[in-house]
Amino acid sequence: MVKLSPSLMCMDLGKFNEQIAYLNTVMDYYHIDIMDGHYVNNMTLSPWFIEQLQAHTDVPLDAHLMVTNPVEYVEPLLDLGVEVISIHAEHLNGHAFRVSQTIKAQGKKMGVVINPETPMELILDYLHLIDIVTVMTVDPGFAGQKFIVESLNKVRWLKDYRETNELGFLIQIDGSCNEKTYSRMLEAGADILIIGSSGLFSLDEDIAKSVALLNEHLTQAMQ
């Protein structure tokens, strides 16, 4: 069964307690987008948000670093108990082996993020160190963008490469995960779907009803 990771930048912070309390019972990860306004032209969540969130959940947190100097965030995020630290390939290159040692020493997971235009060859030298590969099916930085179907070729490539080389990383998709795209994402080989506005938070004002609709959409996609 595919795992689910709500993107908390899309939630209604005015209903934080209500939504988190329910999502804690049904979700596999929480996806935390950290943007500094430089790597992408947007600013969202922060390590401070993670510190506050930790008091309300035991769900593993995946910190997606869209910042200019992501390596500087690694140790502070580990100190906060983040389970997965996901860095874009363009910024992880040159640091991957050292960052992997730092993360794995704390018993946590390293992730790499692939933009729609990122060549897969960029991550080959350290793919065996990776726990989760996130494939962006939109350009990074903003919610609600148009689905880039060509990115699914990267998902298929990763699935084949994993099987051929007997690796254990999970494949995660970030961007436009909703009822219109689920079937293609699952067919391509997604293990984790990051769900935001269109896949979860805009389906209904009641979070339980939103999750019920999400599960209905996924069930239909798997038939």
Point out the residues that are catalytic.
33, 174
Phi–psi pair at 177, nearest 5 degrees: -80, 105
